[in-house]
Amino acid sequence: MRAFNGTLKVEYVHRHRFRTRAEARLKIATWIADFYNTTRRHSADDGLPPITFERHMIEKRQASSALLRTAVAIDRLHVFSGSTGCASLLCDTV
């Protein structure tokens, strides 16, 4: 939390003048929602901004799901054709 507060002060608060506390609250909340949480790089996300990291995770999940669906379809073809074994995408031996 200290790192966040320091970043907030250095990157935003010290660079702006606010007329009222209400204005400060509103503008700081907007900065957090629009910049800090969405575009700032995070070490927990491989150094990527959260939106980019999330997009990469969605793409990986979709690719993984497509691979799994293909393997299941191949297995079903083997079962219906009387062949034994599993799809080569999921098994070490074919």
Render pLDDT for 15-72 as a digit per residue (tens, 0 to 9): 888 899 999 889 888 877 777 666 666 666 677 777 777 888 888 888 888 888 888 8
Q: What is the per-residue pLDDT for 20?
A: 92
CA 2 to chain centre: 24
pLDDT tops 90 at residue 93? no
Tokens of 23: 């204005």
Residue range 66-85: mean pLDDT, rounded: 77
Task: Give residues with Cβ within 8 angstroms of 74, minimum separation 6.
Answer: 87, 88, 89
The predicted pLDDT at position 94 comes to 47
Domain identity same for 51 and 36? no
Q: Whole-prediction pTM value? A: 0.39
User: Could you give the CA distance from residue 76 to residue 68 in angstroms, rounded to a whole number?
Assistant: 12
Give the range of the structural domain holding residue 57, as residue numbers without chain letter: 47-94
Same domain, 36 and 61: no
Q: Are residues 3 and 35 in the same domain?
A: yes
* 59 shares a domain with 84: yes
Strand partners, 42: 48
Total domains in the fold of the chain: 2
